[in-house]
Amino acid sequence: DQQVKQNSPSLSVQEGRISILNCDYTNSMFDYFLWYKKYPAEGPTFLISISSIKDKNEDGRFTVFLNKSAKHLSLHIVPSQPGDSAVYFCAALAPPGRAQKLVFGQGTRLTINP
């Protein structure tokens, strides 16, 4: 039962353009969402997060959008840079008192072409 889904295993974008990575979830109890970035042979690193009380959070070139009614979130990277090439994981957390663990999606491999 995949509660967090990233349906695009890969995405290729030209340098300078916008990258949009998508994530869907099924559990309405999730109230906090995060994006992690992973380079080969390294552990995932935290990128940006959003609480369910918001619909947008921005940090520099990175913006996360949350659509609770659609149970959908997306990560926008603009402008995309070659160093953004990595695997991006979407993750979700249930409220305190429930399972205190992040549930991850399958990941999307982003390639930025010069």
Partner 1 sequence: GAGVSQSPSNKVTEKGKDVELRCDPISGHTALYWYRQSLGQGLEFLIYFQGNSAPDKSGLPSDRFSAERTGGSVSTLTIQRTQQEDSAVYLCASSSNPGYGYTFGSGTRLTVV
Point out which residues bind partner 1 (CB under 8 A).
4, 6, 9, 32, 36, 41-46, 89, 91, 93-94, 96, 99-107
Express the helix, strand and coil content of the chain in percent, nearest 5 each. Answer: 5, 55, 40
The DSSP-derived string for 98-114 is: B--SEEE---EEEEEE-
Name the minimum Å distance from CB 6 to partner 1: 8
Nearer to partner 1, 3 or 78 (CB): 3
Nearer to partner 1, 83 or 101 (CB): 101
Nearer to partner 1, 79 or 111 (CB): 111
Name the minimum Å distance from CB 66 to partner 1: 17
Question: Which helix (H) or strand (E) element contains residue 27?
Answer: none
Name the minimum Å distance from CB 96 to partner 1: 8
Nearer to partner 1, 15 or 46 (CB): 46
CA distances from 70 to 18, 49, 57, 83, 97 (A): 22, 18, 17, 31, 25
